[in-house]
A = this chain, B = another copy of it.
Amino acid sequence: MELRIAKTYLSQGIQIVSKAVPNKTTMSILECILIDASGEDIRLIANDMELGIETHVPGIIIERGIIAVDAQIFANIVRKLPEDDVTILTEGEKITILCQKAKFTILGKDGADFAYLPEIERRVEVQVSQYTLRDMINRTIFSISGNESSGMMTGELMEIRDNHFRMVALDGHRIAIRNVELPSSYEDRKVIVPGKTMSEISKILSGDTDKFVNIYFTDKHALFSFDDTIVVTRLIDGDYYRVDKMLSTSYETKVTVQRRELLNCIDRATLLVKEEDKKPVIFMIGEDNMELKINTTLGSMDEVIEIDKEGADMNIGFNPKFLIDALRAIDDEEVTMYMMSPKAPCYIRDDEGNYCYLILPVNFITIE
């Protein structure tokens, strides 16, 4: 095999597919990137068996071939090369990388051992802008469960109903929901995509509003196609939680507050919280202000902020991290919180139905 690729493109391509290279694995072939120049173009592929990424890299094929190369070593070498054309030459499993006067020789692996991406029939399609998909992921992904044994909670729901596109993430203590209207209508579809896939895709997407992602579904897989890249992911099996049943529009107390001010205030309160002692931040909601209090082994903090209130006064406690995550995922200057009781979920949602963040309150015994 002999290829010539501009360093910039090669480096970009490696960066994209590396997102599907597992950090730890017992199968060393999974730690590799496949360079496939057996056809008309140069493709880089990585596949951890759950998530696979393939990207096209512009370049010249002088002699066709296929080789697998350790992703980390290859990425490191290419990153440090001068900005010029890179020549990749193979002789058996020996790979020579040439750029200007620098010459690296490393050992590759037979491409035949590499697991290609599963073939996905490109039939059922949804099109969203790269911006929209990235945005929806970033504003919900933090609510998935980090515990690998919690099944569907480790994934995100992607739901299409006509032209409504919804993403949902939940971990048993909170729910994050984002809605958007698509320019076209599509066949109804409801799939659970692994959180890792969502998170890696959001890092590769350019975020342009005028570039698109085409999404194709089968029963077991989803394929995301954008720019010169395709991402294939296994789907999580099962019927997702009935989220709509968990949502309620009735409330006892409605609080409207400056988002940035509330966020800074909770952020300060968390200074006194050590990881291990899960101390709640307590909201004492009064007529036109709200006192925030926290009390830990390190000390105590309180601060009063102004609010607009409808309904009853209430004292309610929250895990400060959950509030911070939700408030950071919202752009609005003002946010509105809806509460029923100190033991019932609190909803932060807008009137337009673009977002809804549900947070379960934390019980607190006494307020000093």
Contact = CB atoms under 8 A, between A and B. Distances in A.
How many of these chains are in the complex?
2
A305 interface: yes
A292 to B, nearest CB: 9
A267 interface: yes
Interface residues of A, number: 27
B301 A81 contact: no
Interface centre among A73, A101, A105 (most CB of B within 10 A): A101
A177 to B, nearest CB: 30
A104 interface: yes
B271 A102 contact: no
Given A101-B304, A101-B305, A305-B101, A80 B299 contact: no
Given A102-B268, A103-B301, 18 more contacts: A73-B271, A73-B272, A73-B298, A76-B271, A77-B271, A80-B264, A80-B268, A81-B268, A82-B264, A101-B304, A102-B301, A102-B302, A103-B303, A104-B299, A104-B300, A104-B301, A105-B301, A106-B299
- Which 6 A-B residue pairs are closest in the complex by CB-CB distance? A106-B299, A102-B303, A105-B300, A104-B301, A80-B268, A76-B271
Interface of A: 73, 76-77, 80-82, 101-107, 264-265, 267-268, 271-272, 298-305
